[in-house]
Amino acid sequence: MASTLCSCTRGRASSFIAASTLRRRLPLVGAICVLSFGISNLCPALHSSTLKTGLAQSLPFVPLLRSKFGSQSPAKSLHSIRMEGNSTTVPNIVVYVTVPNKEAGKKLAESIVKEKLAACVNRVPGIESVYLWKGEIQTDSEELLIIKTRQSLLEALTEHVKANHEYEVPEVISLPITGGNLQYLEWIKDSTRD
């Protein structure tokens, strides 16, 4: 009895099939359904009596599923996506700034890091921006700067960009960093001014 599975018809057990026979005949899609929906959802008769008596424990994947997924609550798995140790790090942001060319990007990126306004600036060449300026649609090749810094430095960073940028209205857009590698986030804090 411990090596059999339920074949369900209208919510009740109609016959039993040997597990080895079922494994040979069960297509991959069916296996995924069993793993996704759970045996008790696919075969309610098992849920009410047989699962309590140990039949499910004889299935080779059930203990694995319980050990991998059964012990994690939704709150815990959500927390693992969030920032590690967020109580010891300062709020960090990513800032986007576009520049007209490679030389302007290099000069601005180096000045930002030198002034400790950011820990790191990535330069992404070859972007094309389409925008409305003074009533006309413009298309320009630009370079994107992706700047990692503390949230508290946003105002100083914005002023630095405005003072050292050739655009009349430079793009400075910040996004919060809500998660990531604790050591990297600490490095941002240690590499920037207070």
pLDDT block averages, 10 residues each, the chain of length 194: 43 47 45 43 45 46 47 42 59 98 98 98 97 96 98 98 97 96 96 94
Residue 112's pLDDT is 98
Give the predicted TM-score (pTM) of the model: 0.58
CA-CA distance, 109 to 175, in Å (whole number)?
A: 18
Q: Are 91 and 151 in contact, with CB atoms under 8 Å apart?
A: yes
Top CATH class of 92-191 equals alpha beta
Residue 87's pLDDT is 54
Q: In the chain, where are the structural domains located?
A: 4-71, 92-191
| pLDDT tens digits along 125-141 | 999 999 999 999 999 99
At 19, list the tokens: 């597990």
* Type of residue at 93: I
Helix (H) or strand (E) holding 150: strand 136-150
| pLDDT tens digits along 156-174 | 999 999 999 999 999 999 9
Residue 118's pLDDT is 98
CA-CA distance, 107 to 110, in Å (whole number)?
A: 5
